[in-house]
Amino acid sequence: MTLPIYVQGAWYLGALLFIFGLKGMGSPASARKGIVIAGYGMLLAIAATFLIPGLQNLALMALALVVGGAVAWISGKKVKMTDMPQMVAIYNGMGGGAAAAIAAIEFAKGDAHSVVTTILAVLGALIGAVSFTGSCVAWAKLQGVLKKAHRLPAQNAVNVVLALVAVGLGAAMVVLAPAQPELIFGFFAIALVLGLIVTLPIGGADMPVVISLFNAFTGLAVGFEGYVLGNPALIIAGIVVGAAGTLLTQLMAKAMNRPLSNILFTPMVASGPGEAISGSMKEVGAIDAAAMMRYASKVIIVPGYGMAVAHAQHKVWEMTALLEEAGVEVKFAIHPVAGRMPGHMNVLLAEAGVPYDKIFDLEEINGEFGQADVALIIGANDVVNPTARTDKSSPIYGMPILNADMAQNVIVIKRGKGTGYSGVENALFYTDNCRMLYGDAQPMAGEIIQQLKAMG
């Protein structure tokens, strides 16, 4: 059926707004505007869909929009900023699941499609199903429902076998189109299980890359199903999101210096006993920590997941303002994989009101640690571990890290003496220039603030 020109035009305009919106999201300063622009694009595309002549089930479509919109609105209002990674993960999954459901309906209808269209439908279904169940596992891990990674015996062999079976069933669906219900059911069952099995062994340290990867999967799945439906808005938006997610995944993997295959198929565990660490952890009190920063010329703050868990970003910004009033130069250093999703720390700091020009990524800030009087680490661990430079048996060896150990003094706010998500002991904590301030980040930052105010 040839669609009216006004419907097609609205879809293309919506896709254009998606692109402009995504471009705006490339900078923290314009991200909010970009989201609004993309939202208008989505609204336009949905409205145009309802204008297709002869469209059926309009009431069900409207009901689905109302229910889905209400759930998204309520959850979006209530979600804590520290819980944003798991919300992003589950939204990725819903997008992939929707693409897979579209393909399932097309297969079930048994309508005649070209070979190319059928292949794209199968690819979209496979990628979308994997993204759906994989994202659900990622959500469960981030939410704390799954407390640890679960690895099967011969895990990689199981992954390969499941992937080959899924591809084989998909190929059979193309050759035997229209496929029988049993074949369709088997294909989707294997694809859904594959997403579960691949994601279950992946630990928290790799979760930012996994979320980004599933974001790319969802975009590609939507783009493929858009081709099946002949919807240019889905095609353009899906491929753009898929391409952006793929590039981000590559950047995240590069930031960890680990190939994507290593992240998906190799657990982050040490391959040897590791280098011996000499020295001991030395504690410091809030009053001494406050004095070290109050009378410093330059302080670099390194936030990590511990800051997010403690909801300490507002206290950290209040502390920063007091230091700046005293004439101290303060900057924030963000590692690409700090937190549990790409940009996690940037989002938290922006929520607290930290100006964008005070936030720097690894490449921008690393050369300045040598001139810093104090590096304040708040809940970060693996991303500041100097073992990554020297210990070839370490699972984080070769990962670019923030050079916090090169500062004249290092203060680490940490809840306890445990290791990071990689399970590797942090050699930084044992160096002569490092002091440990034990406790949750929010009350510890509050104590430092009180001491700074007392110093005048």
- Residues catalogued as catalytic: 382
* Contact status, residue 302 vs residue 333, Cβ threshold 8 Å: yes
Looking up tokens 């502390």, which residue turns up? Answer: 319
Contact partners, residue 449, CB within 8 Å, separation at least 6? 315, 318, 319, 322
Helix (H, G, I), strand (E, B) or coil at 437: strand
Cis peptide before 208 (omega within 30 of 0): no
Q: Hey, what amino acid is at 176?
A: L
Contacts of 439 (CB under 8 A, 6+ apart): 413, 415
What angle do the packed helices 441-455 and 286-294 form, to 10 degrees? 60
Interatomic CA distance for residues 358 and 119, integer angstroms: 48
CA distances 293 to 6, 368, 433, 449, Å, are 62, 16, 14, 11
As a whole number of angstroms, the distance between CA 183 and CA 172 comes to 8
Please name which of 141, 188, 184 lies closest in space to residue 162, comparing C-alpha atoms.
188
216 neighbors 183 (Cβ within 8 angstroms)? no
Rg (the chain; Cα; Å)? 25
Question: Residue 276 CB: number of other CB atoms within 10 A?
Answer: 7
CA distances from 265 to 67, 116, 151, 221, 268 (A): 38, 31, 10, 22, 10
Tokens representing 229 are 């439906």
Backbone angles phi, psi at 23, to 5 degrees: -65, -40
What is the DSSP secondary structure assignment for residue 153, as one 8-state letter? T
Starting at the earlier edge strand, list the strands of the sheet with 359-361: 359-361, 329-334, 298-303, 374-378, 409-414, 434-438
Non-local CB neighbours of 294 within 8 Å, separated by 6+ positions: 323, 326, 328, 452, 455
Q: Is 358 within 8 Å of 346 (Cβ atoms)?
A: no
Measure the CA–CA gap between 437 and 430, rounded to whole angstroms: 13
Question: Residue 411 — φ and ψ, nearest 5°?
Answer: -120, 130
